Amino acid sequence: MVQEKVREDLDDDWDEDDEDTQKNKYLTFHLAKEDYGIEIRYVTEIIGIQRITEVPDMPDFLKGVINLRGKVIPVMDVRTRFNMEQREYDDRTCIIVVNINNTSIGLVVDKVQEVVNIPESQVEPSPEKAKGKRSRFLQGMGKINNEVKILLNVEQLLYEEELGQLEQITQC
């Protein structure tokens, strides 16, 4: 299964303490009709979709929290964050748990693909059309094997005040 292969690739990269082993490596995933990537240095694990407990007074894209081995993890639906059409979660839907400024956050994506190496020379800035409100989410466009992956800036997926709200939830 693809998810298990990705976990093995991530485990191989995490076994190395040397930060250079993670340089230029991205976990790729599918969202709507596009392929995205995030730097693996932010990824702590990948889990299948599970029951999400809703939390009142949170932005729509924050679906709630999950209990992951006794730790409360806030969950963001990336489709909702990007104002994409919603779809039902299925057996390929995954939660990518990332660490942003020492806060764990789950990112719901349609399906996880693989870990790829994209050298800096193959990363181009975001297109001018993408500039604007949502451009802060974009790190660039990665070219690999005649395909383009939209590379996300994980640290910019949440505003500081949103991150602060999440920290309060996880400390309750």
Q: What CATH code is carried by the domain that includes residue 96? A: 2.40.50.180
| Residue 32 in tokens | 């709507």
Q: Which of 87, 51, 92, 43 is nearest to 68 (CA)?
A: 51
Q: What's the confidence (pLDDT) of residue 34? A: 94
Could you give the number of structural domains in the chain?
1
Arithmetic mean of pLDDT, 90-105:
93
Task: Specify the pTM.
Answer: 0.83
Arithmetic mean of pLDDT, 84-112:
94
Query: Is residue 136 scored above 90 in pLDDT?
Result: no
Arithmetic mean of pLDDT, 21-44:
94
The two counts, helices (H) then strands (E), for the chain are 3, 11
Query: Is residue 14 scored above 90 in pLDDT?
Result: no
The residue segments making up the domain with residue 29 are 2-170
Mean pLDDT for the chain?
Answer: 85
Q: Give the dihedral sign, CA 108/70/102/19.
A: negative
Q: Please give the share of the chain, as a percent, with pLDDT higher than 90.
A: 59
Q: Which of 40, 42, 44, 38 is nearest to 140 (CA)?
A: 38
User: Given pLDDT bands bounded at 50, 70 and 90, which one contains residue 9?
Assistant: low
Q: What's the confidence (pLDDT) of residue 117? A: 96
User: Given pLDDT bands bounded at 50, 70 and 90, which one contains residue 87?
Assistant: very high
